[in-house]
Chains A and B, each alone.
Chain A
Amino acid sequence: QQQVKQSPQSLIVQKGGISIINCAYENTAFDYFPWYQQFPGKGPALLIAIRPDVSEKKEGRFTISFNKSAKQFSLHIMDSQPGDSATYFCAASYNAGGTSYGKLTFGQGTILTVHP
Protein backbone atom coordinates (compact mmCIF):
# COMPACT_ATOMS: atom_id res chain seq x y z
CA GLN A 1 0.00 0.00 0.00
CA GLN A 2 2.85 2.37 0.79
CA GLN A 3 5.00 1.42 -2.17
CA VAL A 4 5.82 3.59 -5.13
CA LYS A 5 7.11 1.57 -8.07
CA GLN A 6 9.45 3.32 -10.47
CA SER A 7 10.66 2.27 -13.90
CA PRO A 8 12.95 1.90 -15.70
CA GLN A 9 15.93 1.27 -13.41
CA SER A 10 18.24 2.85 -15.95
CA LEU A 11 17.74 4.85 -19.10
CA ILE A 12 20.08 5.93 -21.87
CA VAL A 13 19.03 8.78 -24.13
CA GLN A 14 20.75 10.72 -26.86
CA LYS A 15 21.24 14.46 -26.47
CA GLY A 16 18.12 16.26 -27.60
CA GLY A 17 15.88 13.27 -27.01
CA ILE A 18 12.99 12.85 -24.58
CA SER A 19 13.55 11.00 -21.30
CA ILE A 20 10.49 9.39 -19.75
CA ILE A 21 10.37 7.88 -16.27
CA ASN A 22 7.25 6.27 -14.86
CA CYS A 23 5.91 5.71 -11.37
CA ALA A 24 2.87 3.87 -10.02
CA TYR A 25 1.35 3.92 -6.58
CA GLU A 26 -1.36 2.07 -4.65
CA ASN A 27 -2.31 4.34 -1.77
CA THR A 28 -5.09 6.63 -2.98
CA ALA A 29 -4.55 8.85 0.05
CA PHE A 30 -1.33 10.17 -1.48
CA ASP A 31 -1.87 13.80 -2.42
CA TYR A 32 1.56 15.16 -3.28
CA PHE A 33 3.89 13.77 -5.94
CA PRO A 34 7.36 15.31 -6.26
CA TRP A 35 10.28 14.37 -8.47
CA TYR A 36 13.85 14.68 -7.26
CA GLN A 37 17.16 14.80 -9.11
CA GLN A 38 20.27 13.50 -7.38
CA PHE A 39 23.88 13.79 -8.48
CA PRO A 40 26.54 11.47 -6.99
CA GLY A 41 27.52 12.46 -3.48
CA LYS A 42 24.79 15.09 -3.20
CA GLY A 43 21.38 15.26 -1.61
CA PRO A 44 18.25 15.08 -3.79
CA ALA A 45 17.04 18.35 -5.29
CA LEU A 46 13.35 19.02 -5.82
CA LEU A 47 12.66 19.29 -9.55
CA ILE A 48 8.93 19.57 -9.91
CA ALA A 49 5.86 18.41 -8.02
CA ILE A 50 2.17 17.91 -8.70
CA ARG A 51 -1.05 17.43 -6.76
CA PRO A 52 -3.82 15.06 -7.95
CA ASP A 53 -6.23 17.82 -8.96
CA VAL A 54 -4.01 18.60 -11.96
CA SER A 55 -3.25 16.24 -14.87
CA GLU A 56 -0.10 17.94 -16.09
CA LYS A 57 2.46 20.42 -14.88
CA LYS A 58 5.29 21.87 -16.88
CA GLU A 59 8.37 23.75 -15.70
CA GLY A 60 10.89 24.48 -18.41
CA ARG A 61 12.01 21.21 -19.98
CA PHE A 62 10.42 19.13 -17.21
CA THR A 63 6.81 17.94 -17.33
CA ILE A 64 4.85 15.76 -14.93
CA SER A 65 1.89 13.86 -16.34
CA PHE A 66 -0.54 12.55 -13.76
CA ASN A 67 -3.21 9.89 -14.29
CA LYS A 68 -5.33 9.66 -11.16
CA SER A 69 -7.54 6.80 -12.31
CA ALA A 70 -4.54 4.66 -13.26
CA LYS A 71 -2.61 5.77 -10.16
CA GLN A 72 0.39 6.59 -12.30
CA PHE A 73 2.56 9.62 -12.89
CA SER A 74 5.54 10.24 -15.09
CA LEU A 75 8.38 12.67 -15.63
CA HIS A 76 9.22 13.83 -19.14
CA ILE A 77 12.50 15.59 -19.80
CA MET A 78 12.41 17.32 -23.16
CA ASP A 79 15.56 18.12 -25.14
CA SER A 80 17.64 16.01 -22.74
CA GLN A 81 21.17 17.25 -22.12
CA PRO A 82 24.32 15.52 -20.83
CA GLY A 83 24.01 17.69 -17.72
CA ASP A 84 20.71 15.97 -16.97
CA SER A 85 22.60 12.71 -16.36
CA ALA A 86 21.72 11.88 -12.76
CA THR A 87 19.50 9.63 -10.67
CA TYR A 88 15.85 10.59 -10.59
CA PHE A 89 13.44 9.63 -7.83
CA CYS A 90 9.71 9.93 -7.78
CA ALA A 91 8.01 10.18 -4.42
CA ALA A 92 4.59 10.48 -2.85
CA SER A 93 3.25 11.70 0.43
CA TYR A 94 -0.03 12.41 2.16
CA ASN A 95 -1.18 14.58 4.94
CA ALA A 96 -1.56 12.05 7.70
CA GLY A 97 -1.52 14.84 10.22
CA GLY A 98 0.59 15.06 13.30
CA THR A 99 4.11 13.72 13.16
CA SER A 100 3.70 12.00 9.78
CA TYR A 101 3.00 15.14 7.78
CA GLY A 102 5.05 15.24 4.64
CA LYS A 103 6.57 11.78 5.06
CA LEU A 104 7.78 10.81 1.60
CA THR A 105 7.70 7.35 0.08
CA PHE A 106 10.34 7.09 -2.63
CA GLY A 107 10.50 5.09 -5.80
CA GLN A 108 13.53 2.93 -6.45
CA GLY A 109 15.26 5.51 -8.63
CA THR A 110 16.23 5.74 -12.31
CA ILE A 111 19.77 6.31 -13.44
CA LEU A 112 19.59 8.54 -16.51
CA THR A 113 22.52 8.81 -18.88
CA VAL A 114 22.34 11.33 -21.71
CA HIS A 115 24.93 10.76 -24.41
CA PRO A 116 26.37 13.79 -26.23
Chain B
Amino acid sequence: GAVVSQHPSRVICKSGTSVKIECRSLDFQATTMFWYRQFPKQSLMLMATSNEGSKATYEQGVEKDKFLINHASLTLSTLTVTSAHPEDSSFYICSARSRGIGAFFGQGTRLTVV
Protein backbone atom coordinates (compact mmCIF):
# COMPACT_ATOMS: atom_id res chain seq x y z
CA GLY B 1 0.00 0.00 0.00
CA ALA B 2 0.86 3.65 -0.30
CA VAL B 3 2.99 5.21 2.44
CA VAL B 4 2.04 8.28 4.41
CA SER B 5 4.62 9.60 6.85
CA GLN B 6 3.60 11.76 9.78
CA HIS B 7 6.07 13.60 12.00
CA PRO B 8 6.59 13.89 14.90
CA SER B 9 5.05 10.78 16.46
CA ARG B 10 5.04 12.35 19.90
CA VAL B 11 5.37 15.93 21.07
CA ILE B 12 5.11 17.61 24.44
CA CYS B 13 4.75 21.37 24.49
CA LYS B 14 4.07 24.09 27.00
CA SER B 15 0.71 25.76 27.18
CA GLY B 16 0.58 28.83 24.93
CA THR B 17 3.13 27.61 22.40
CA SER B 18 2.49 26.38 18.87
CA VAL B 19 3.19 22.94 17.44
CA LYS B 20 3.53 21.92 13.80
CA ILE B 21 2.74 18.43 12.56
CA GLU B 22 3.84 17.31 9.09
CA CYS B 23 2.16 14.80 6.84
CA ARG B 24 3.88 13.53 3.70
CA SER B 25 2.77 11.10 1.02
CA LEU B 26 5.99 9.31 0.15
CA ASP B 27 5.18 7.39 -3.01
CA PHE B 28 2.16 9.08 -4.52
CA GLN B 29 0.75 12.54 -5.09
CA ALA B 30 -2.12 13.29 -2.76
CA THR B 31 -4.79 15.47 -4.28
CA THR B 32 -6.49 15.63 -0.92
CA MET B 33 -5.28 15.32 2.65
CA PHE B 34 -7.44 15.01 5.73
CA TRP B 35 -6.71 15.76 9.37
CA TYR B 36 -8.39 13.81 12.14
CA ARG B 37 -8.43 13.94 15.89
CA GLN B 38 -8.97 10.87 18.00
CA PHE B 39 -9.75 10.65 21.70
CA PRO B 40 -9.00 7.47 23.68
CA LYS B 41 -11.24 4.55 22.75
CA GLN B 42 -13.18 6.67 20.28
CA SER B 43 -13.48 6.89 16.54
CA LEU B 44 -11.69 9.36 14.31
CA MET B 45 -13.18 12.82 14.13
CA LEU B 46 -12.54 14.71 10.90
CA MET B 47 -11.18 18.18 11.55
CA ALA B 48 -10.49 19.49 8.07
CA THR B 49 -9.92 18.64 4.43
CA SER B 50 -7.10 20.22 2.49
CA ASN B 51 -6.39 20.36 -1.20
CA GLU B 52 -3.07 21.39 -2.67
CA GLY B 53 -2.90 25.10 -3.32
CA SER B 54 -6.25 26.00 -1.82
CA LYS B 55 -7.64 26.84 1.59
CA ALA B 56 -8.62 24.02 3.89
CA THR B 57 -12.25 23.21 4.53
CA TYR B 58 -12.94 22.88 8.25
CA GLU B 59 -15.65 20.77 9.84
CA GLN B 60 -18.26 22.44 11.97
CA GLY B 61 -16.98 23.31 15.42
CA VAL B 62 -13.28 23.24 14.49
CA GLU B 63 -11.53 26.56 15.05
CA LYS B 64 -9.68 27.44 11.87
CA ASP B 65 -7.55 30.03 13.66
CA LYS B 66 -6.38 27.47 16.21
CA PHE B 67 -5.74 24.63 13.79
CA LEU B 68 -3.89 26.08 10.81
CA ILE B 69 -3.59 23.80 7.82
CA ASN B 70 -1.26 24.33 4.90
CA HIS B 71 -1.14 22.07 1.86
CA ALA B 72 1.85 23.51 0.05
CA SER B 73 2.46 20.66 -2.39
CA LEU B 74 0.94 17.41 -3.61
CA THR B 75 3.03 15.49 -1.08
CA LEU B 76 3.00 17.71 2.02
CA SER B 77 0.38 19.06 4.38
CA THR B 78 0.99 20.60 7.79
CA LEU B 79 -1.23 21.13 10.80
CA THR B 80 -0.19 23.84 13.26
CA VAL B 81 -1.86 23.90 16.64
CA THR B 82 -1.55 27.51 17.73
CA SER B 83 -1.52 28.73 21.33
CA ALA B 84 -1.95 25.16 22.52
CA HIS B 85 -3.83 24.43 25.73
CA PRO B 86 -4.14 21.20 27.74
CA GLU B 87 -7.54 20.50 26.18
CA ASP B 88 -5.81 20.30 22.77
CA SER B 89 -3.94 17.23 23.99
CA SER B 90 -5.01 14.40 21.71
CA PHE B 91 -3.96 11.98 18.99
CA TYR B 92 -3.84 13.71 15.62
CA ILE B 93 -3.83 11.65 12.42
CA CYS B 94 -3.48 12.68 8.81
CA SER B 95 -4.72 10.83 5.77
CA ALA B 96 -3.83 11.22 2.13
CA ARG B 97 -5.85 10.16 -0.87
CA SER B 98 -5.53 10.36 -4.60
CA ARG B 99 -7.99 9.39 -7.31
CA GLY B 100 -7.80 5.70 -8.04
CA ILE B 101 -6.31 4.67 -4.71
CA GLY B 102 -7.70 4.38 -1.21
CA ALA B 103 -7.12 6.67 1.72
CA PHE B 104 -3.92 5.94 3.64
CA PHE B 105 -3.13 7.16 7.10
CA GLY B 106 -0.04 8.43 8.83
CA GLN B 107 1.12 6.85 12.05
CA GLY B 108 -0.38 9.63 14.15
CA THR B 109 1.00 12.28 16.50
CA ARG B 110 0.42 12.16 20.23
CA LEU B 111 0.27 15.78 21.40
CA THR B 112 0.54 16.52 25.11
CA VAL B 113 0.20 20.11 26.25
CA VAL B 114 1.50 20.76 29.77
Contacts and interface: CB of A to CB of B under 8 A. Distances in A.
Given A34-B102, A44-B44, A46-B102, A101 B31 contact: yes
Identify whether the interface residues of B are mostly helix, strand, loop, or mixed: strand
B92 to A, nearest CB: 10
A46 B43 contact: no
Interface stretch (B11-19, B61-69, B74-82, B93-101): B93-101
Interface in A72-116: 89, 93, 99-104, 106-109, 111
A89 B97 contact: no
Measured as residues with beta carbon below 8 angstroms from the partner, the interface class of chain B is 20 to 34
Given A36-B105, A41-B108, A93-B103, 14 more contacts: A41-B91, A43-B6, A43-B105, A43-B107, A46-B103, A46-B104, A46-B105, A49-B102, A89-B44, A100-B49, A101-B31, A104-B46, A104-B103, A106-B44
Interface of A: 32, 34, 36, 41-46, 49, 89, 93, 99-104, 106-109, 111
